[in-house]
Amino acid sequence: MGRIIIEYLEGQKIYACKKCNVHLSKSNYLFSKQFTGTSGTAFLFDKGVNYLTGKPEEKRLRTGLHTTQNIICIKCQTYLGWKYLYAYEQSEKYKEGKIILEKLFLSKIKWN
């Protein structure tokens, strides 16, 4: 195993791992706050950094069948959410490539 390389984001509002504070995404990448994860409220982001993905699996969500990968923190390996690889429903195609991060596992860093 190589050394873990951690990326740092710049921006007004950064979303980080609640446990280890590694940066995960930022408000500029936030697509929607109207999602539900396994723990409750979840956010959909266009992209993020410092996460690892698990193996692809079929997941039946309220909006239909999707192929997803679980997302864990690169540093502390905490479960954070999932990535959408493929959406079977035409109306859900916009999610492909985007990531879900569950609010419970996030902390917000705000620079003012």
* Helix extents (H) in the chain: none
Shortest Cβ distance from residue 101 to Zn ion (Å)?
Answer: 11
SS3 content of the chain, % helix, strand, coil (to 5): 10, 55, 35
Report the site for Zn ion in 8-27 (rule: CB under 5 A).
17, 19-20, 22
Residue 104 three-state SS: helix
Residues 67-106, mask of contacts with Zn ion (x by CB under 5 A): ------x-xx------------------------------
Query: Which residues bind to Zn ion, rule: CB under 5 A?
Result: 17, 19-20, 22, 73, 75-76
